[in-house]
Amino acid sequence: MTASLPAVLEHLRSIQFFMEMREENPFKIRSFRAAREELKGLKEDELAQFIKENRLTEIKGVGKGIAAVISEFWQTSTSADLRKIIGGWPLSLLELDELSGLGPKKIRAVYEQLGISSLAELEYACLENRLVELSGFGQKTQEKLLNEIENIKARRGKILLCDAIDETREFRSRLPKEALFEEVGALGMRHEVIETLEFLVEDKKGFEAKHLEKLGLKKSPGKREVSLKTKHGHSLKFIHVAKASFPIHRVFLTSSPEHWHSLESAARKKKLLLTANELKKSDTILKIQSEQELYTELGFVFHPPEAREYAAEKSFEFVNPESLRGCFHAHSTYSDGSNSLKEMLDAAKSRGWEYFGISEHSQTAFYARGLKDADLKNQWKEIDQYNKKSAPFRVLKGIESDILKEGDLDYPEKLLADFDFVIASIHQRYGLKEMTDRIVAAVRNPYSSMIGHISGRLLLGREPYRLNYEAIIREAIATHTVIELNCNPHRLDMDWRHLRQACEAGLLIALNPDAHSVEGLDDVQFGVWMARKALVAPSQVINTWPLKKLLELFSKQREKKAA
């Protein structure tokens, strides 16, 4: 594959960036910048010609060294210069250079002190308040960076579910209440990452004239579909349909092919014909006034839009936010949360939960102010006092223990034994080949009650590490170890696509908000959606269990694994 002109420019920019990071000779750095400016004025075939004829140095600003880099890159898509200058640094650091608030010096600081090497990691660290105390940063810088990252992400054209929901809420508030306007497509189905926000709207010529302008969007001629962009650059699509077809069409536009096919064939068995717009019995159109009615008519339990991934079920109980009796995985100001322990506990209690598991970071996670023995003793004292006052509400003492290099947990056994539960998570050294072995070792540890954010993915940012899920799930089921469904909308990890089969085989999961603030507790809603997608039965979700059963599970795990 031959390189392109934009790829050459990007390559030169990479070299220049890493030279800046290493504080190389400023003159040399400037020469790369100057060469890039000149090359920008060329056409691609002109550059190709220069390379072919070995005349690159005839371009103004291109010396021998840079000419060699370009020729080598043109042929091999890399260069010795880049390899040398980059050393052990990750190439993804370059992403951080897009932010105007960061220069090479600050990029080095966040990399060396917080282990941040990509935009998504930086965003996540900001959301977890980690920049506030870093020297040269602070609350203001953190906010500015978050804002800028938001804009960069929007330019890339994809949007996280949480942001799509926020945008939609904003729209809705500007539309009159009676306007028929429903989320469909990936947004309606609650997919983790969305490309186009799709809405079903009533087929009245007036809809656009009446409403689109209110949304700050331009009118368009009366097509069945209207595609537009929001001011943030996200794609929007409005699909028009007659009011009578609304419920069936919404089911159609929120169903996977497998789900829709199961509805169609159920209709056929009943001698009915289901199309995207109507349900017919010979020539009569049956009146279907709601999505529920369609499911009932076809002999199925109602599936909410997010649960339309697999074939429809005759009967099934879906997980509900109300069916959760409590939750685990939350941080307070003891580690890197932004609310005090008391504020977090009060918030959990006021939700009507029966129990709440707090789990700060462990000692290795220094960048997140992981807890040392003495901090733990203080926290436990505070929890004991709280429990005394608030019974029967119960706070469980937990920890999010780092999984170390070989899969060990981060405290001595004697201390681990004193926690009510332990979440074992990987926070460092993502690149290792033996990730599966590390996690399996953590599953086998007698003190691990759960495994946190198993794949390490950050949506729209960091790829999940490659894991042998089958091996991990097998071991988790055998040892009754729970796998977390991290409900933070940047993670949603373990991916729901692995959950259906695993839970049917006996895997237990926990819907864990990984909350770093009181508001973060609301993220359990995202987990509920993902669990519904995967048709996970409530019995497999331990937060639906009563406290006594939970405590029995945690001690059963230890006995089983110690044996």
Q: Write out the residues near Zn ion by the rule CB under 5 A.
A: 400, 425, 514
Region of 407 please: left (phi>0), alpha (psi -120 to 50) or beta.
Answer: left
CB of 486 to Zn ion, least distance (A): 8
CB of 514 to Zn ion, least distance (A): 4
> Chain-centre distance of CA 103, in angstroms?
27
163 vs 514, beta carbon nearer Zn ion:
514
400 vs 523, beta carbon nearer Zn ion:
400
What is the radius of gyration, based on Cα positions, of the chain?
27
Task: Spell out the SS3 assignment of 55-72.
Answer: CHHHCCCCCHHHHHHHHH
308 vs 331, beta carbon nearer Zn ion:
331
Region of 329 please: left (phi>0), alpha (psi -120 to 50) or beta.
Answer: left
* Burial class for 376, CB neighbours closer than 10 Å (0-12, 13-18, 19+): buried
- DSSP percent split of the chain into helix, strand, coil, nearest 5: 50, 15, 40
Run of H or E residues at 541: none
CB of 451 to Zn ion, least distance (A): 11
360 vs 475, beta carbon nearer Zn ion:
360
Q: Is 80 helix (H, G, I), strand (E, B) or coil?
A: helix
CB of 93 to Zn ion, least distance (A): 22
308 vs 329, beta carbon nearer Zn ion:
329
**How, if at all, do strands 225-229 and 196-202 pair?**
unpaired
CB of 530 to Zn ion, least distance (A): 17
Provide the β-strand partners of residue 458. 462
Structural tokens at position 453:
């954010």
185 vs 326, beta carbon nearer Zn ion:
326
48 vs 127, beta carbon nearer Zn ion:
127
Structural tokens at position 518:
């009181």
CB of 359 to Zn ion, least distance (A): 7
CB of 368 to Zn ion, least distance (A): 8
Cβ–Cβ < 8 Å for 202, 224: no
